[in-house]
Chain A
Amino acid sequence: MLQPPDVSLTPLLPVLIVLAGALSSTLLGFWLGRRTLTFINLAATLLSALSLGTLWNRGVSSFGGSLQADNAALLLAFVILTGALMTLLVTLDTAWRARVSFPEFDAMLMYAVTGCLLIAFSGDLIVMLIGLEIMSLSGYVLATLQGSRRAEESGLKYFLLGAAGSAVLIYGIAFVYGATGSLNYAAIAAKASVLAPENTGILVGGALLLLCGFAFKVALAPFHQWTPDVYGGAPTSVSLFLSTVVKVAAFAGMLRVFGGALADAPGWHAVLQVLIAATLIVGNLAALRQLNFKRMLAYSAVAHTGFLAMALLGTPQAGGAALTYSLLVYTLMTAAALAILAALQRSEEGVSVSDLRGLYHRHPAYAAALAVCLASLAGLPPFAGFFSKYLVFQAAFQNGYEWLSVLAALSSVAALVYYLRPAMLMFMPDRTPAREYAHGQRAPTTLTVTLGVVGVTALGLLPNIWYSWVANPAIWTLLVGP
Chain B
Amino acid sequence: MTFTDWLPTLMIFLPLAGSLLLLVTPKRFRDEVAGFMAALTLGAGLAIWRGGGSELFRWDWIPPLGITYSVQLGGVSLALALVTALMSFIAILYAARRIPNPGPMLSLILAMETGLIGIFAAQDLMLFYVFFEDALIPALLMLAIYGKSGRMAALVKFAAYTLFGSLLMLVSIIGVRYIGGSPTFAMTDLKQNLVQGPAQTWLYLGFLAAMAVKLPLWPLHAWLPDFHEQNHDSGIPDVMGTLYKVGGYGLFTFAIPLFPDASLELRPILMGLAAFTALYAAWIAFGQTDWKRLLAYAGLSHMGFVALGVFSLNETAVIGAMYLLAFQNLYTGALFLSVGMLQERTGSLDTRVGGVMTQAGALGGLTMALWFASIAVPGMAGFIGEFSILLGAYQVFPWLAFIAGITTIAAAAYALSAFQTTFWQARPAGGLRVPDLVHTEWLILGLPLAVAVLFGVYSAPALNLMQPAVRAVLTALGGN
Contact = CB atoms under 8 A, between A and B. Distances in A.
A and B assemble together:
yes
Interface of A: 375, 379-382, 386, 389-391, 393-394, 397-398, 402, 405-406, 409-410, 412-413, 416-417, 420-421, 424-425, 427-429, 462-464, 467-468, 471
B163 A421 contact: no
Nearest to A463: B62
Nearest to A415: B163
Contacts of A424: 140-141, 143-144, 152, 155
Nearest to A468: B64
Given A402-B175, A424-B140, 10 more contacts: A390-B126, A394-B178, A412-B163, A416-B159, A417-B160, A420-B159, A424-B152, A424-B155, A427-B145, A464-B63
Interface string B374-387: 00000000000000
Contacts of A417: 156, 159-160
Given A380-B137, A405-B174, A412 B152 contact: no
A427 B143 CA distance: 10
Interface in B124-164: 126, 129-130, 133-134, 136-137, 140-141, 143-145, 151-152, 155-156, 159-160, 163-164
A427 B160 contact: no
Of listed A386, A398, A409, A463, residue having the most chain B CB within 10 A = A409
B368 to A, nearest CB: 36
Contacts of A375: 137
B167 interface: yes
Interface pairs A-B: 8 shortest CB-CB: A409-B167, A471-B64, A424-B144, A381-B130, A427-B144, A413-B164, A416-B163, A405-B171
Contacts of A405: 171, 174
A386 B140 contact: no
Contacts of B145: 427-429
A66 B426 CA distance: 91
Contacts of B144: 424-425, 427-428
B465 interface: no
Contacts of B170: 389-390, 393, 409
Nearest to B161: A413
Contacts of B63: 464
Contacts of B126: 390
B438 interface: no
Contact residue range for chain B?
20 to 34
B136 A410 contact: no
A409 B64 contact: no
Interface of B: 61-65, 126, 129-130, 133-134, 136-137, 140-141, 143-145, 151-152, 155-156, 159-160, 163-164, 167-168, 170-171, 174-175, 178, 206
B65 A463 contact: yes
B178 A398 contact: yes
A107 to B, nearest CB: 41
B480 to A, nearest CB: 30
B167 A413 contact: yes
Nearest to B166: A409
Contacts of A382: 130, 134
A37 to B, nearest CB: 40
Nearest to B142: A427
A380 B130 CA distance: 8
Contacts of B137: 375, 380
A390 B163 contact: no
A379 B170 CA distance: 12
A472 to B, nearest CB: 9
Given A413-B163, A417-B159, A424-B140, A464 B175 contact: no
B178 A413 contact: no
20 contacts: A380-B133, A381-B130, A382-B134, A386-B133, A389-B170, A390-B174, A397-B174, A397-B175, A397-B178, A398-B174, A410-B168, A412-B163, A413-B167, A417-B156, A420-B159, A424-B140, A428-B151, A463-B62, A464-B63, A467-B64
Contacts of B155: 420, 424
A416 B133 CA distance: 12
B228 to A, nearest CB: 17
Contacts of A397: 171, 174-175, 178
A296 to B, nearest CB: 15
Nearest to A394: B174
B160 A409 contact: no
Contacts of B175: 397, 402
Contacts of A425: 144, 152
Contacts of A394: 174, 178
Contacts of A409: 167-168, 170-171
A275 B132 CA distance: 32
A477 to B, nearest CB: 16
Contacts of B65: 391, 463, 467
A391 B170 CA distance: 11
A393 B171 contact: yes
A156 to B, nearest CB: 37
B174 A410 contact: no
A87 B174 CA distance: 35
B30 to A, nearest CB: 17
A390 B129 CA distance: 11
Nearest to A389: B170
A287 B5 CA distance: 47
B171 A464 contact: no
B167 A410 contact: yes
Contacts of A468: 64
Contacts of B164: 410, 413
Nearest to B155: A424
A334 B178 CA distance: 31
A21 B167 CA distance: 44
B211 to A, nearest CB: 15
A467 B60 CA distance: 14
Nearest to B165: A413
A38 B129 CA distance: 43
